[in-house]
């Protein structure tokens, strides 16, 4: 009975699986420069055009690439673009939104929006408010939203004019907006807000006229992206202060919504001293990056993840990829606080499993298993690929088990008696199936 209950619990548990095999390569496409001391954002309009935004003190710099990151050129520079604060943290929440190869928008802390209508050849400065601007999300080149600590602003004409949103009275005055604001559709706005010691999601579906408030739970997200009207993702940086239980651990966490932001649930939780800071997607592929070289990719909307970082790729140095942007489903640009830009290229598009549900591409028996499993993918293939059979746990770690020929001669047998009870994955080439150890 105990084994049966455990099987049921495991099948009911939704597990986000990670794989750590190398499927691509990283290359540095922009080296550190003295013209900036921090990169605050990066945004790609398409596979070739990308804008990078940085600052040196209160001097603002924008660089662009038109060849997918191979070469970079100055696009904008302004001295004393923002306001100098005693606390430098007050100047960090700045953002960039590159909607197409002509239109790009940048928020700066002096309450101004910079915009270009010609791909960065010329920039126009528009003063929105005396508040410090934070996140901007443009649904297209005309419609967008900007968040400050206390306000939201909306436009339908590229910030030639705008309106300030009136929020529900139930929020009273004891609120402030978190880092995130997004437009799932051209009429919908989703934002995270802190009010009365709790985090909430607020959403409007009539361009800010009326709002619904939902208990978000958890912690504030550092980035927020929606694939469509209902499906969205946010990434977290959860810091534990309980030094005995957690040793000051930070958890890099990704949450997902499938109902437009009403409810959120965790799909990936990676113990990590520095959390995830950025998330982006392109053509069904989801990317996330964070501190200490955290970079992951998912091809199934967050159910499984593959670790993109390899320590040896950087001669032993780790990278803090604070912001990332997807050029294509197989190419990612990520910028670091130490003023460098790296590009990831997926060179093995079959290495991430597309499905890990009930479609067993590999025959495994018995399943659940106690002492051993037998694997059959065709007699000749199973024997010839015996050395390539690998078993992973739910953390993407190779269990290092040795297959032997089965007694029937029609496959291979693997001793799993030493494995702890739980879910495991068998992989042969690009085929993946799961089994339960009891």
For 76-135, give the DSSP string. EEETT-S---SSGGGG---EEEE-SSS-EEEE-TTSEEEEESSTTSS-EEEE--SSPP--
What is the C-alpha to C-alpha distance for residues 119 and 104, in angstroms, rounded to an integer? 7
Give the pLDDT of residue 6: 42
Residue 247 clears pLDDT 50, i.e. is over it: no
Lowest mean pLDDT among 121-130, 189-198, 279-288: 189-198
If 0-12 CB within 10 Å is exposed, 13-18 middle and 19+ buried, where does residue 246 land?
A: middle
Task: Copy the structure tokens of residue 113.
Answer: 């929006």
- Domain ranges in the chain with CATH number 2.60.40: 2-10+356-437
Please give the CATH topology (third level) of the domain spanning 22-346: Methylamine Dehydrogenase; Chain H (2.130.10)
- Tens-place pLDDT, residues 418-428: 898 887 888 87
The percentage of residues in the chain with a pLDDT greater than 90, rounded to a whole number, is 31
SS3 362: coil
Name the residue among 269, 215, 242 with its Cα closest to residue 14.
269
Residue 277 clears pLDDT 50, i.e. is over it: yes
Q: What is the CA radius of gyration of the chain?
A: 24
CA distances from 180 to 87, 204, 272, 392, 436 (A): 21, 15, 22, 35, 39
What is the C-alpha to C-alpha distance for residues 370 and 418, in angstroms, rounded to an integer? 9
Half-sphere exposure of 109 (CA within 13 A, CB side): 20
Geometric angle at alpha carbon 148, from 143 and 150, rounded to 5° = 120
What is the C-alpha to C-alpha distance for residues 34 and 30, in angstroms, rounded to an integer? 12
Task: Copy the structure tokens of residue 163.
Answer: 């309106």
Which of the listed ranges 126-140, 163-177, 364-378 does the model predict with the highest average pLDDT?
126-140
- Tens-place pLDDT, residues 25-74: 888 898 876 555 677 789 999 999 999 988 776 677 889 999 999 999 99
**345 DSSP 8-state letter:** E
β-pairing, 304-307 with 17-19? parallel
- Domain ranges in the chain with CATH number 2.130.10.10: 22-346
- Tens-place pLDDT, residues 231-246: 999 987 654 444 444 4
**CATH for the 2-10+356-437 domain, from 2.60.40, 3.30.1460, 1.25.40, 3.40.1010:** 2.60.40
The percentage of residues in the chain with a pLDDT greater than 70, rounded to a whole number, is 71
SS3 145: strand
Name the residue among 263, 253, 261 with its Cα closest to residue 221.
253
Lowest mean pLDDT among 236-250, 256-270, 390-404, 407-421: 236-250
């Amino acid at each position: 009975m105990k084994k049966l209950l455990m099987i049921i619990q495991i099948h009911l548990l939704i597990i986000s699986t990670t794989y750590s095999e190398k499927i691509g390569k990283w290359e540095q496409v922009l080296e550190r420069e003295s013209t900036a001391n921090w990169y605050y954002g990066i945004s790609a309009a398409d596979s070739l055009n990308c804008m990078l935004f940085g600052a040196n003190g209160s001097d603002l710099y924008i660089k662009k690439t038109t060849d997918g990151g191979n070469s970079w050129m100055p696009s904008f520079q302004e001295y004393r673009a923002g306001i100098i604060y005693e606390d430098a943290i007050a100047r960090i929440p700045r953002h960039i939104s590159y909607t197409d190869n002509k239109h790009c928008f940048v928020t700066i802390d002096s309450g101004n929006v910079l915009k270009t209508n010609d791909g960065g050849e010329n920039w126009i400065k528009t003063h929105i408010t005396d508040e410090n601007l934070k996140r901007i999300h443009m649904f297209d080149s005309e419609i967008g939203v900007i968040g400050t600590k206390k306000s939201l602003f909306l436009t339908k004409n590229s910030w030639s004019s705008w309106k300030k949103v009136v929020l529900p009275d139930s929020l009273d005055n004891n609120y402030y907006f978190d880092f995130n604001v997004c437009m799932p559709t051209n009429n919908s706005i989703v934002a995270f807000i802190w009010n009365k010691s709790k985090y909430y999601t607020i959403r409007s579906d009539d361009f800010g006229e009326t709002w619904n408030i939902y208990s978000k739970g958890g912690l504030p997200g550092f980035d927020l992206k929606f694939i469509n009207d209902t499906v969205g993702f946010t990434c977290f940086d959860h810091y534990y202060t309980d030094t005995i239980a957690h040793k000051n651990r930070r958890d890099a966490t990704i949450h997902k919504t499938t109902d437009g932001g009403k409810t959120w649930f965790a799909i990936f939780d990676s113990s990590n001293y520095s959390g995830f800071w950025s998330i982006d997607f392109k053509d069904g592929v989801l990317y996330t990056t964070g501190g200490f070289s955290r970079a992951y990719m998912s091809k199934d909307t967050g159910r499984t993840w593959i670790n993109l970082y390899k320590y040896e790729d950087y001669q032993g140095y780790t990278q803090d990829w604070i912001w990332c942007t997807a050029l294509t489903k197989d190419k990612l640009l990520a910028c670091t606080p130490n003023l460098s830009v790296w590009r990831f290229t997926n060179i093995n598009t079959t290495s991430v499993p597309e499905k890990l549900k009930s479609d067993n591409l590999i025959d495994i028996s018995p399943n659940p298993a106690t002492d051993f499993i037998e694997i059959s993918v065709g007699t000749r293939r199973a024997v010839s690929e015996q050395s390539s059979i690998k078993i992973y746990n739910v953390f993407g770690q190779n269990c290092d088990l040795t297959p032997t020929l089965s007694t029937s001669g029609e496959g291979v047998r693997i001793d799993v008696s030493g494995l702890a009870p739980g879910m495991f994955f068998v992989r042969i080439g690009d085929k993946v199936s799961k089994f339960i150890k009891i």
